[in-house]
Amino acid sequence: MPQYTPPLRDMQFVLHEVLKVTDELKGCPRHAEVDAGTMNAVLEEGGKFASEMLFPLNLSGDREGCTHDKATHSVRTPKGFKEAYAKYVEGGWPALSVEPEFGGQGLPVVLNQCIYEMMNSANQAWTMYPGLSHGALECLHAHGTEAQKKTYLPKLTSGVWTGTMCLTESHCGTDLGLLRTKAEPVIGGEADGSYKLTGQKIFISAGEHDMAENIVHLVLARLPDAPQGSKGISLFAVPKFNVKADGSLGERNAIYCTGIEHKMGIHGNATAQLSLDGATGTLVGEPNKGLPAMFVMMNAARLGVGNQSLGLTEVAYQNAVAYAKDRRQMRALSGPKQPEQPADTIIVHPDVRKMLLTARAYAEGGRALAVYCALLIDKMIASDDEDERKEAGDLTALLTPIVKAFLTDNGWIATSHCMQVYGGHGYIAEWGMEQYVRDARINMIYEGTNTVQSLDLLGRKVLGDNGAKLKKFGKLVTEFIEEEGTNEAMQEFVNPLADLGDKVTKLTTELGMKAFGNADEVGAAAVDYLRVAGHLVFAYFWARMAKVALEKKEEQGEGCDPFYTAKLHTARFYFAKLLPETAGLIRSARAGLAPLMAMDEALF
């Protein structure tokens, strides 16, 4: 019953009209020749794969879930998942934006971003299987030995094997310094130089399944005599099947799935408990430097999680709109709008529109931000200008926690609104809306809870370098405001953007001063601060999008593509109805630490 249409037009708008990615990529020799036509053709194909292959498996995958067989430690994924994955590999999708060195197609990350948004819209649980492979691949590319690269990268690139990240243990998730899994060096014999890993991991997404020949687990563990805490953690590659010298699969490695979790959502993805019973692994990167190495993967994953909620926001919006145009209930308060019918369609009711437009503004704003970040990553990886690489790296560092937390909080709000549009039917499984809400909820938790993201933003990224990274983003905002300073039609967007920019600057300074006195002030304000910063970023992109829409309307006159009219209305809605949230958030952030800490723990 649910439906999904890939938002190709809006992706093209963001890519080509707002961000002008083909121009921006001219500084990346590898991408200098990529043209819009090629990009659009890839997007169209990707959209077909998502909507025709993955989307029909979403409801059924949720209902069926994964099945764990204790005897064989195997996991059966829902009906159709395996076959869809085979098509995915066959289509060459895993290799899309991987560097050509190991068999990748070397296309820009911005494309992969859009393909993943569509796959997340279609089926988040399924998309997590290939999704985690990208991070594993990047991590091995950055930190692996030549042998590891040769062994793993071609297979991860083609998607014949998948990857995981094994961090969490039952007693530690956020605080990885507490982890206990051990790695003992093997000295002598055939496995000389490798390690035997022993321990228990939990919450390993895509940790076991029947979709790929092999699974490459990237596992955090402690070497003997490693320093305590997070400085004593090393990273290991631990394949499900050992790999022979010729690259073929050897014997089963001693890393076993001992159970899968029963969860609120993403039922189609196996969340595995893994037992390492002396499993053979090889060290990735330096001893005791596992956490920084893993951060390559975690940063990619954080952007990926924001993208999951972006996908859910879009698909929930599309369905809620269709329902609101079809369902008839009551009359408009201002009088019947469809008097020939027994009742008006519910899209005539202002609050139904408010819920729909909230989802729409969050989807379209999120898309602009997410593609922008992907473009920064393209520059980080492939620009021939060191300054540009550095600049892109700094902006990515600043924006990553915002993409992760702001987009997932927005996804939670938006999917819940879209479900509400359905009334009672929204609560019923067969309509598919409640699944979006359940699936969206995990995105606020994993890859660092949204509280952790907010501490990363305010504590590390903003205050940690005295606002240098924030000023880089602020400069983009200021330049845009100055450029549009004399453009009358843009003032309705530029003024609130400038106003919020000033407020963020003041708030940042105030919080910095407070944190100087007591570091816990950061923790008290961080979540409110991230949401305010998220709105600043959205206001910037909405203003940029409005600018393009205004230009096109001017250009095209009477017969203007209604796409631009819709874009302008959505921009106005964003500034009128969503941005005002910042007023309360700033007040709450400024209220500081005392109201949180005054009460003795025993009184809770």
172 touches a second copy (CB under 8 A): yes
Say whether 165 sits in a helix, a strand or coil. strand
Give the x-and-dash track for 231-270 against a second copy (CB under 8 A). ------------------------------xxxxx-----
- 328 vs 472, which CB is nearer to a second copy? 328
Q: Please choose, out of 144-152, 369-377, 497-505, 596-604, the segment that lies near a second copy by the rule CB under 8 A.
A: 596-604
- 321 vs 494, which CB is nearer to a second copy? 321
173 touches a second copy (CB under 8 A): yes
Give least dist CB 34 to a second copy, A. 31
For a second copy, how many residues bind (rule: CB under 8 A)? 104
Alpha-carbon Rg for the chain in angstroms: 24
User: What separation in angstroms does the CA of 37 have from each of 10, 93, 375?
Assistant: 15, 18, 18
DSSP classification of residue 558: G
Give least dist CB 417 to a second copy, A. 10
Asked if 82 and 211 count as a contact pair (C-beta separation under 8 A), the reply is yes
Give least dist CB 266 to a second copy, A. 9
Residue-level length of the chain = 604
Asked if 257 and 75 count as a contact pair (C-beta separation under 8 A), the reply is yes
Q: Which two tokens stand for residue 426?
A: 């929204």
174 touches a second copy (CB under 8 A): yes
For a second copy, the binding residue among 5, 258, 478, 518 (CB under 8 A) is 518
1 touches a second copy (CB under 8 A): no
5 touches a second copy (CB under 8 A): no
510 touches a second copy (CB under 8 A): no
* Binders in 314-353 for a second copy, by CB under 8 A: 321, 324-325, 328-330, 332-335, 342-343, 345, 347-353
**Catalytic residue from among 99, 447, 484, 521:** 447
User: What separation in angstroms does the CA of 159 have from each of 155, 207, 216, 272, 319?
Assistant: 6, 15, 11, 20, 31
Asked if 53 and 84 count as a contact pair (C-beta separation under 8 A), the reply is yes
513 touches a second copy (CB under 8 A): no
Q: Which residue has the tokens 């060191």?
A: 386
Give least dist CB 527 to a second copy, A. 5
- 72 vs 228, which CB is nearer to a second copy? 228
**C-alpha closest to that of 52 among 158, 116, 123, 132:** 123
* Binders in 263-322 for a second copy, by CB under 8 A: 263-265, 321
Q: Please choose, out of 10-18, 50-58, 389-397, 440-448, the segment that lies near a second copy by the rule CB under 8 A.
A: 440-448
Give least dist CB 459 to a second copy, A. 7
DSSP H or E run through 196: strand 195-205
* Binders in 468-497 for a second copy, by CB under 8 A: none
Kindly give the pairing relationship between strand 161-166 and strand 214-221. Answer: parallel
What dihedral do alpha carbons 94, 97, 98, 100 form, nearest 10°? 120
327: left (phi over 0), alpha (psi -120 to 50) or beta: beta
Q: Which two tokens stand for residue 418?
A: 């879209």
For a second copy, the binding residue among 288, 451, 478, 505 (CB under 8 A) is 451
* Binders in 178-207 for a second copy, by CB under 8 A: 178, 202-203
Give least dist CB 250 to a second copy, A. 33
Give least dist CB 420 to a second copy, A. 7
74 touches a second copy (CB under 8 A): no
For a second copy, the binding residue among 69, 101, 213, 430 (CB under 8 A) is 430
For a second copy, the binding residue among 527, 545, 546, 549 (CB under 8 A) is 527
Asked if 198 and 182 count as a contact pair (C-beta separation under 8 A), the reply is yes
Q: Which residue has the tokens 């379209």?
A: 364
* 302/454 Cα distance (integer angstroms): 13
Q: Is 447 a catalytic residue?
A: yes
Measured from the Cβ of residue 399, the count of other Cβ atoms closer than 10 Å reads 25
Annotated catalytic residues are 447
